[in-house]
Amino acid sequence: MDKFIHLAEYRSPMSAAQSSDQPSQNIYLPKTSESEQLKKIRHTTSHVMAMAVQKLFPGTQVTIGPWIESGFYYDFDSPTPFTEQDLKAIKKEMVKIIKRKLPVIREEVSRAEAQQRIEALQEPYKLEILADLKEPITLYHLGDEWWDLCAGPHVESTAELNPKAIELESVAGAYWRGDETKAQLQRIYGTAWETPEQLAEHKRRKEEALRRDHRKLGKELGLFIFSDLVGPGLPLWTPKGTVLRSQLEDFLKQEQIKRGYLGVTTPHIARVDLFKTSGHWQKYQEDMFPLMSENDADRNSEQGFVMKPMNCPFHIQIYKSELRSYRDLPMRLAEFGTVYRYEQSGELGGLTRVRGFTVDDSHLFVTPDQLDDEFLKVVDLILSVFDKLQLQNFKARLSFRDPASDKYIGSDTAWEKAENAIRRAVEALGMEHFEGIGEAAFYGPKLDFIFQDVLDREWQLGTVQVDYNLPERFDLEFMGEDGNRQRPIMIHRAPFGSLERLIGILIEQYAGVFPLWLAPEQLRLLTVGDDHMPFAHKVAADLQAAGVRVMVDQSGDRLGKKIRNAEKAKIPVMSVIGDQEVEANSLNIRTRAAGELGVISVTEVVERVKGAIANYGDF
C-alpha cells in the first residue's frame, strides 16, 4: 500500500507526458495561480474589457470578473446578449484603451465612500459585492474614466498589456452568484499572456485537446455512437467499444473475486415503493425517469414502476432475503448495474454525462467493528485499479454534507459517524485530500476520486460511501455474537464510478492509443499482395484461436495505405506479410509504439501478446 500513500500531484491531462501526438513547442505556460505577472495582466485585461463593454453597450452593468487558471472572465448584466461579432468590436475597443497607456491607479476608500460612489454609478450588483468585502476596500481606476472594486494586483499602466497576447474566447450565460433563481448574466471568457508566443501556444494546446476529445476519437475509432431515435445521453456501444467495456469489466471482476466479492444480478426497473423506502423518490424524483403506470388511477396514487437510478435498494433486498449472521459479514455484493437518471438536457455530453450508465457497483454490509478495515480495503482496491489503468492525475475529495441544506436524509449522529469513518481512513492512509462541503450523496458522505478531462473539466470517477441511513430505512439486521439482532453499516463503492465516464476519460488519457490488453483490435495483418491472403487468413485463425484480437486488412490497397490506415486506427501491433513471411512461416512485426521489430514466429507473437496483457504493458 505504501506506493499509494502520496497521490500523484495533480496535473492537467494536457500537460501529461503521453498527451501529445505532436511534439510540444516546449513553451512553459504557467497557471494564473503560479504567476504574479499573469495575475496582474489578467486582472487589468479584464478591467479593460469591462470598460470597453460599458463604452460600446451603454446600460450594461458590471458584476464580477476574476481570473481563472487559463485566463479571466467578466459577468455583465446586459439588456441584449453579446454575439461573436460583438467580441470582435470589444477587442478592438480594448486595443484602443490599451494604446492610450492609461495608468492603473489603486485607491483605498472607506465603506461609506465606496457605497456613495457606487450609488452614483447606479450599479446595484456592486453594492451587493461591497457588502461582502472586508476592509480595506480598494478601487482600481483606469485613468480617470473607469473604475471597479477590486483587490488587485494590477499592472501599472495599460501600456504593459500586449494586444497581440490577448484574446476574447467565448460568451456564455451565467447566473448571478451562481444561483439559478437569480438573474442570468452574460459572461465573456478571455485570455491574456505576456507574449504573443504564449497565446499561440495556449491556442495550440486547446486544438490538441480537441484532437484527444473522447467524443471525436470515439467516432473516429468507431467505439460508440448516439442515435437521435434512441435518445440523448444513451450511448450505443459498437463491437470495438464493447471490447473495451468487457475487458474493463472482466479485469475488475477478477480483482473482486480475489477480494471476496459476490456477484449478483438485479433488474433495471422496480416498483416505486422500493425507492420510497430508500428515500430516492422523495429526494431524487426529479432526476428519475417518470413513473410507468398502467392507468391514470395508478399514476395518481403513485403506483407503478420506475427505472432504477441506483442499485443499492436492490442489493439491500438480497441482503434482507435471509437473516444474516455476524459470521456472514462482511458481505460484499457486486454488480455491473446499469442505472438511468433523467439528467437535465443541458448537462448531457459525450460519455462523461449520460442518462443511462453502468456502475461497477458494490455494497458491503459490515459490522461496526469491520467498518474501518473494510473501508481501507476498498480504497486499496480503487487505487490499485487506477494504477493498472495508468491513471495518475486525480484528487481525493471528502464529500460531506452541507449542514445548511435539507436535501439529506438521516440523523446528525449517523452523518457524524459516517464522516468520521471517512476521515479516519484518509488519515490512516496519509492520503492527500480536500473537503467538498455539500458534495455528499443524499444518504451519506463519500470519498470521491476526481479526474479532469481534456478540456480541464472535473469528473468524479471512483467513490466510496459510508452509509448508516439506508440500513436504518430498510431495517437491516444481522444476528450478533451475543444473540442480539444488530444493525449493519453499508459501504457503497464503485472504483470506476461509471463505465461510460471511465472510458471517456481513458480515451482522452491514452489519446485513443489503448494498451494492448484494452485495444479492441490488437493485431492487424497486412498483405503485400493478394497472393499472400491465404497465409494471412491461416495465421489469423491461429492467432484468434490463441485469444488474440486479430484482423486481416481485406482491402485491395497497397501496403503503404494499409499501414497508414492501421496507424490511423491506432492498432498497437501490425504484421506485414509478403513472400518472405509466407516462405519462413513467420510474421514481420511493426508496432505503433516502436516501429519495425523484424521477423518473429507466430508462436512467439502469441507469447509476447499474452505477456504484454498479463502485465498490462506493451507488446
For residue 238, how far is the Cα from the chain centroid? 22
> Min. distance of Cβ 388 from RNA in angstroms?
19
Find the binding residues for RNA in span 113-172 (CB under 7 A): 170-172
Q: Does 88 bind RNA (CB under 7 A)?
A: no
- Binding segment for RNA (CB under 7 A), chosen from 175-183, 250-258, 260-268, 415-423, is 175-183
Which secondary structure element, helix H or strand E, spans residue 470, and what is its range? helix 469-473
Site string for RNA, 534-573 (x = CB under 7 A): ---------------------xxxxxxx-xx--xx-----
State the minimum distance, in angstroms, from the CB of residue 245 to RNA: 14
Q: By CB under 7 A, tell whether 184 contacts RNA.
A: yes
The answer to whether 130 touches 111, Cβ cutoff 8 Å, is yes
Assess 580 for contact with RNA (CB under 7 A).
Answer: yes
Binding mask 391-410 for RNA (x = CB under 7 A): ----------------x---
Q: Cβ of residue 496: shortest distance to RNA, in angstroms? A: 8
**Which residues within the stretch 323-342 sit at the binding site for RNA (CB under 7 A)?**
341
235-294 residues in contact with RNA (CB under 7 A) are 287
CB 501 within 8 A of CB 352: yes
> CB 42 → RNA: shortest distance, Å?
16
Nearer to RNA, 23 or 346 (CB): 346
Q: Which residues touch 559 (CB under 8 Å, ≥6 apart)?
A: 526, 528, 576
Instruction: Fill in the DSSP letter of residue 9.
Output: P
Our finding on whether 432 is near RNA (CB under 7 A) is no
Nearer to RNA, 233 or 279 (CB): 233
Q: Which is nearer to RNA, 206 or 324 (CB)?
A: 206
Rounded to a whole number of angstroms, the minimum distance from the CB of residue 384 to RNA is 19
**Beta pairing partners, 400:** 437
| 186: contact with RNA by CB under 7 A | yes
Q: Are 447 and 464 in contact (CB under 8 A)?
A: yes
Closest approach, Cβ 145 to RNA, in A, equals: 28
In which element (H, E) is residue 284 found?
Answer: helix 280-284
CB of 493 to RNA, least distance (A): 11
Report the residue from 74, 146, 147, 226 that binds RNA according to the rule CB under 7 A.
Answer: 226
Of 387 and 567, which has the nearer Cβ to RNA? 567
Please report, for residues 83, 100, 104, 194, the alpha-carbon distance to residue 49 in angstroms, rounded to integers and kept in the order given.
Answer: 15, 14, 14, 17
Distance CA 144, CA 127 (A): 21
* Between 322 and 530, CB nearer to RNA: 530
CB-CB neighbours of 434 under 10 Å? 9
Burial class (CB in 10 A: 0-12, 13-18, 19+), 617: exposed
Angle at 474 between CA 469 and CA 477, to 5 degrees: 90
What gap in Å lies between CA 248 and CA 109, rounded to an integer?
60
Contact call for residues 585 and 577 (beta carbons, < 8 A)? no
The secondary structure element, H or E, covering residue 251 is: helix 239-258
Cα gap 619→472, rounded to integer Å: 51
Nearer to RNA, 33 or 580 (CB): 580
Residue 321: count other Cβ atoms within 10 Å of its Cβ.
Answer: 8
Residue 573 CA to residue 5 CA, distance in Å, equals 35
SS3 487: coil
Cα–Cα dist 458/450, whole Å: 6
Q: What is residue 35's three-state secondary structure? A: coil
Q: Which helix (H) or strand (E) holds 200?
A: helix 196-212
Residue in 71, 163, 233, 445 binding RNA, rule: CB under 7 A: 233
Beta carbon nearer to RNA, 246 or 580: 580
Kindly state the smallest distance separating residue 451's Cβ from RNA, in Å: 9
Nearest-approach distance from CB 321 to RNA, in angstroms = 27
How far the first Cα of the chain sits from its last, in Å, is: 28
Contact yes or no for 173/184 (Cβ under 8 A): yes
Which of 57, 175 has the CB closer to RNA? Answer: 175
CB-based contact 370:331 (threshold 8 Å) = no
Footprint (CB under 7 A) of RNA, residues 515-534 = 528-531
Among 31, 219, 268, 538, binds RNA (CB under 7 A): 219
- Shortest separation between residue 344's beta carbon and RNA, angstroms: 3
Q: Which of 3, 9, 58, 84 contacts RNA by CB under 7 A? A: 84
Give least dist CB 172 to RNA, A.
3
CB 309 to RNA: min, Å: 9
- Write out the binding residues for RNA, residues 595-614 only, by CB under 7 A: 596
Q: Does position 350 bind RNA by CB under 7 A?
A: yes
C-beta of 462 vs 471, nearer to RNA: 462
Q: Applying CB under 7 A, which of residues 590, 602, 605, 609 lies at the interface with RNA?
A: 590
Q: Give the DSSP per-residue string, 494-532.
A: ESSS-HHHHHHHHHHHHTT---TTT-SS-EEEEESSGGG
Q: Which is nearer to RNA, 146 or 357 (CB)?
A: 357
Binding segment for RNA (CB under 7 A), chosen from 37-45, 117-125, 258-266, 496-504, is: 496-504
Q: Among 103, 136, 232, 368, which residue sits at the site for RNA (rule: CB under 7 A)?
A: 232
Residue 353 as a binder of RNA (CB under 7 A): the answer is yes
Site size for RNA (CB under 7 A): 75
CB 86 within 8 A of CB 94: no
Residues 155 and 322: their CA atoms lie apart, in Å, by 71
Exactly one of 23, 58, 178, 483 binds RNA (CB under 7 A); that residue is 178
Figure out which of the listed residues 187, 205, 280, 332 binds RNA, where binding follows CB under 7 A. Answer: 187
* Smallest gap from residue 293 Cβ to RNA (A): 21
